[in-house]
């Protein structure tokens, strides 16, 4: 098995796993049971999404196609203002 994604949160890991499974690739989340020991364990790199070695290239392409690195604090782009009608 090979790690295709290291998640910051268990929810992110399961979203990636579901995306991989929707693409027909087997995947599993490793390390989610360790989250209960956060006071004694390091908090980074615990939750990983793994795939079989043979599926890794295709899985990597699927993960890269997801918007995982988008900045959640970035302001969303405003919709264009109407040019006609009541609000123009």
Q: What is the CATH number of the domain that holds 42?
A: 3.30.70
Residue-wise pLDDT for 1-19, tens only, equals 999 999 888 888 999 999 9
Residue 57 confidence (pLDDT): 95
Does residue 83 sit within a domain? no
Q: What is the distance between the alpha carbons of residues 34 and 63, in angstroms, rounded to a whole number?
A: 23
Beta bridge partners of 73: none
What percent of the chain lies above the pLDDT cut of 70?
64
Does residue 79 sit within a domain? no
Number of structural domains (the chain) is: 1
Write out the residue range of the structural domain in which residue 40 sits. 2-65
Residue-wise pLDDT for 27-45, tens only, equals 999 987 665 555 544 455 5
pTM: 0.67
Does residue 22 sit within a domain? yes
Q: HEC states along 5-42? A: EEECCHHHHHHHHHHHHHCCCCCEEECHHHHHHCCCCC
Residue 8 confidence (pLDDT): 80
């Amino acid at each position: 098995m090979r790690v295709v994604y290291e998640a910051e949160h268990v929810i992110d890991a399961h979203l990636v796993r579901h995306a991989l499974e929707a693409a027909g690739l087997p995947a599993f989340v490793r390390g989610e049971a360790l989250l209960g020991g956060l006071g004694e364990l390091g908090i980074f790199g615990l939750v990983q999404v793994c795939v079989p070695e043979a599926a890794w290239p295709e899985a990597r392409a699927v993960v890269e196609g997801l918007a995982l690195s988008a900045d959640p604090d970035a302001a969303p782009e405003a919709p264009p203002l109407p040019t006609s009608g009541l609000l123009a």
